[in-house]
Amino acid sequence: MEQDYREPVYTIGIVAKKLDVCPATLRIWERKKLIKPRRLGKNRFYSQCDLDRLEQIKEMLQEKRINIEGAKKILETTRCWEIKKCKPQQRDSCPVFIKYGNA
C-alpha cells in the first residue's frame, strides 16, 4: 500500500489538470522547494503522496492566502494528520511519513 502511494506515476500535465493549476505553477512550487517530484531525465513524475501534499499547498497558498515561505514552515513543522484532520485511529495506518522532509 505505502509503495503504491509513493510510486511516482503522474506526469506534470496530469497533476496540473487534477489540481486545476498550470504546469508553470508546479515548477515554481518545486523551485521554491515546496515539493520535489522524482525526475527521469527532464521529466517530472509525482506520486499520490506528492499529489496530496500539492493539494495542501494549493489550499494554503490560494484559499488561505498564506505566502510561500509561511506554507513551507507549516509543512516543515506540522504533521500531515494535523493538516488533513485525520482521526487518531487513522494515524497508525497512515502511509505518509510524519514529516515529508525538506524537499
Identify the band that residue 92 occupies on the pLDDT scale cut at 50, 70 and 90. low
Predicted TM-score (pTM) of this structure: 0.74
Task: Report pLDDT digits (tens) over 19-42.
Answer: 999 999 999 999 999 999 999 999
Domain boundaries 2-91, corresponding CATH code: 1.10.1660.10
Q: What proportion of the chain, given as a percentage, has pLDDT over 90?
A: 55
Residues 6 or more apart whose Cβ sits within 8 Å of residue 101: none
Q: Are the C-beta atoms of residues 8 and 14 closer than 8 Å to each other? A: no
Residues 6 or more apart whose Cβ sits within 8 Å of residue 78: none
CA 3 – CA 6 distance, rounded (Å): 5
